[in-house]
Amino acid sequence: MQYLVSVIDDKGTPGSTDRQPAISAFNDRLIAEGYWVFAGGLADTDAATVVDNRGEQPVFSDGPFVESKEYLAGVWVWEAPDLDVALKLAAEASKACDRKIEVRPFQ
Amino acid sequence: MNDVHEAVTRAHHDEWARVVAALTRRFGDLDRAEEAAAEAFATAVERWPADGVPPNPGAWLTTTATRKAIDRIRREDKRDDKHKEALMAHDDSPPEPLGAIDDDRLRLIFTCCHPALGTEARVALTLRMVGGLTVPEIARAFLVQESAMGQRITRAKAKIKATRIPYRVPAAEDLPARVSGVLAVLFLVFNEGYLATGPDTDPVRPGLTAEAIRLTRLIRALLPDDGEVAGLLALMLLTEARRTARVSTRGELIALDEQDRGSWDEVMIAEGHQLVRERLATGVAPGRYQVLAAINAVHTSARDARDTDWSQVLALYDQLVRLDASPIVALNRAIAVAELDGPEVALAAVDHLADKLTDYHAYHATRAALLRRVGRSQESRAAYDRAIELAGNTGEIAYLTRRRDQLG
């Protein structure tokens, strides 16, 4: 089963900025053990653009779709046999990133 | 006829969890297992009066439920093959050598008490799937609308399926944390029965305490070497033993030192003491529930409140503080301190906890009692007022009100 693993940062109390080596080492392990499907860090929410073309004309607006203190800082997609495996990895991911992690299965 | 009715009730008590657990393992789906188990019990109600009670009711029920589930799958198969994709992840390996006598029921318990589920969902799911209580029964026990309780259970089952919470006994390294999660659920059920909350409810709901004890016994049978399981069972028994002495005929709670100790349940006390002794004899350092059970063993050993060995109680609280540094433990410790070193010393310790426990009724109730003992009536009254305001249990409110009004 595939899980979307979201890294959640907080503008009020951001995680530390020196995590790249730990994250890289963790990614290497995810790849070696066959869990890794995809990973990517995201640019700041200021860089987001929302597009709404449900009406007659596409409307572009600056900024994220929802303004909040907590925001999505990056994602993984993992392939794991069950939630216990995913949660165990997520606990390690949270340490590696120094941030909160949300685990959510794909349908 | 009555015998048959009794046999069905007993089978429901003894076999429900086994049937649901076996079917969940076989079909990988809690919903299907629950539905088929309910159908099998309904069939038993219909058939046993005419056919007689089968020699092995558990086996009969499992076979019947399995047949019902297969029938349903066949009917659904004709419609679509979708259900095959929705099976739960489960592990077919033979049971791990845990000393477990029934692996399937353990799997069921660990699944229902999974940490990814919210506490309320864990409680509801455990009572439904393992305890076999109906949704209306659970809804009544927790003063929740039936539809809301039904939804809570449905949502929990959907999360188990969607996220693939495994149907498996956790690995040895994860077991202590997961067992403690299961025990927390059972203790919550027990406490809700023991000190029921809500303005229109009886102060004690024996159905819930009995159910919690029954489920803890089941877990003890499955994990006989786990000290904390034994500790929780002992704690529940030693608490439950005092149930009838704890509420007056007018529905007012009676404090430990005012209870008629002759009406305590001696059989439960003997069993609780036996469990505490067994754990002491192992020489293994006790966990939180074992220490709490030991404290209750000291209280229930005194035939008269004045004979209570308070130094032993305090020593156990000191041990508990090292395991659980919560302010609530410190508050309870202060009650023992009051008996040994006097109310002034205890009051100083309690006042220390003001910041952390300002919204906790027992903090104010304890303080009120200590203030009364040192003759600070006016402050005592204010503390009783605050405790009454915060207390959720009708019997406790009645008790606190009487104590306050005695201040004169």
The interface pTM score, or ipTM, of the predicted complex is 0.88
Contacts of B174 in chain A (CB under 8 A): 84
pLDDT value of residue B84: 53
pLDDT value of residue B101: 45
State the pairing for strand pair A2-10/A100-105. antiparallel
Partner A contacted by B82 (CB < 8 A): no
d(CA B315, CA B318): 5
pLDDT value of residue B71: 92
Residue A37 is classified by DSSP as: E
Residue B2 has pLDDT above 90, yes or no: no
Partner A contacted by B163 (CB < 8 A): yes
Q: Positive or negative CA dihedral for A88, A90, A91, A96? A: positive
Partner A contacted by B157 (CB < 8 A): no
How does DSSP assign A27-38, residue by residue? HHHHHHTT-EEE
Using CA coordinates, name the residue in chain A closest to B90: A82
Task: Out of B71-85, B285-299, B334-348, pick the least confident.
Answer: B71-85
Q: How many CA atoms lie within 13 A of B88 on its CB side?
A: 28
Residue B278 CA, distance from chain mean position: 22
Contact B89 A105 (CB under 8 A): no
Q: What angle do CA B311, B351, B335 make, to 5 degrees?
A: 25
Nearest CA distance, B162 vs chain A (angstrom): 7
List phi, psi (to 5°) of A37.
Answer: -115, -45
Using CA coordinates, name the residue in chain B closest to A87: B116
To test the contact with chain A by mutation, choose from B82, B164, B167, B175 the residue with the greatest count of A C-beta atoms within 10 A, namely B164
Residue B95 has pLDDT above 60, yes or no: no
Contact A1 B165 (CB under 8 A): no
Partner A contacted by B242 (CB < 8 A): no
Candidate from A81, A87, A107 with C-beta closest to B116? A87
pLDDT value of residue B100: 41
Q: What is the pLDDT of residues B367-398, one digit of tens each?
A: 999 999 999 999 999 999 999 999 888 889 99
State the pairing for strand pair A36-41/A70-79. antiparallel
Report how far apart, in Å, the C-alpha atoms of B314 and of each of B281, B320, B354, B368 are.
Answer: 21, 10, 21, 21
Task: Name the residue range of residue A80's domain.
Answer: 2-105
Contacts of B116 in chain A (CB under 8 A): 83, 87
Nearest CA distance, A19 vs chain B (angstrom): 26
Chain A to chain B, count of Cβ pairs less than 8 Å apart?
Answer: 29
List phi, psi (to 5°) of B251.
Answer: 80, 20
To test the contact with chain B by mutation, choose from A1, A2, A78, A82 the residue with the greatest count of B C-beta atoms within 10 A, namely A82
Q: Which of B74, B72, B13 is nearest to B41 (CA)?
A: B13
Contacts of A83 in chain B (CB under 8 A): 114, 116, 163-166
Q: What is the pLDDT of residues A14-39, one digit of tens each?
A: 889 899 999 999 999 999 999 999 99
Contacts of A104 in chain B (CB under 8 A): 163
What confidence category does residue B249 fall into, taking pLDDT thresholds of 50, 70 and 90?
confident
pLDDT value of residue B66: 94
- Quote the tokens at residue B25: 């393992």
Partner B contacted by A84 (CB < 8 A): yes
Report how far apart, in Å, the C-alpha atoms of A17 and of each of A5, A25, B185 are.
Answer: 20, 16, 39
Helices B327-341, B310-323: axis angle to 10 degrees equals: 160
B200 Cβ partners below 8 Å, 6+ apart?
none
The answer to whether the beta carbons of residues A69 and A12 sit under 8 Å apart is yes
The answer to whether the beta carbons of residues B316 and B295 sit under 8 Å apart is yes
Partner B contacted by A81 (CB < 8 A): yes
pLDDT value of residue B99: 38
pLDDT value of residue B89: 56
Residue B98 has pLDDT above 50, yes or no: no
Using CA coordinates, name the residue in chain B closest to A2: B163
Candidate from A84, A87, A105 with C-beta closest to B162? A105
The correct answer on CATH 1.10.1740 for the domain covering B2-86 is: yes
Contact A107 B116 (CB under 8 A): no
- Quote the tokens at residue B371: 């203030």
Could you tell me which residue, B96 or B213, shows the higher pLDDT? Answer: B213
Partner B contacted by A57 (CB < 8 A): no
State the pairing for strand pair A36-41/A2-10. unpaired
- Quote the tokens at residue B273: 């003491």
pLDDT value of residue A84: 95
Listed by start position, the domains of chain B span 2-86, 102-202, 225-324, 331-408
Q: What is the pLDDT of residues B127-185, one digit of tens each?
A: 999 998 889 988 888 888 999 999 999 999 999 999 999 998 888 888 888 999 999 99
Candidate from A84, A105, A107 with C-beta closest to B166? A84
Identify the segments of chain A with pLDDT beneath 50.
none
Contact B89 A87 (CB under 8 A): no
The number of distinct structural domains making up chain A is 1
Residue B110 has pLDDT above 50, yes or no: yes
Contacts of B163 in chain A (CB under 8 A): 83, 103-105
- Can you give the CATH number for the domain in which A10 is found? 3.30.70.1060
- Quote the tokens at residue B228: 């904390």
Partner A contacted by B164 (CB < 8 A): yes
Residue B321 has pLDDT above 90, yes or no: yes
Quickly name the fold that domain B331-408 has: 1.25.40
What confidence category does residue B200 fall into, taking pLDDT thresholds of 50, 70 and 90?
low
What confidence category does residue B199 fall into, taking pLDDT thresholds of 50, 70 and 90?
low
Partner B contacted by A106 (CB < 8 A): no
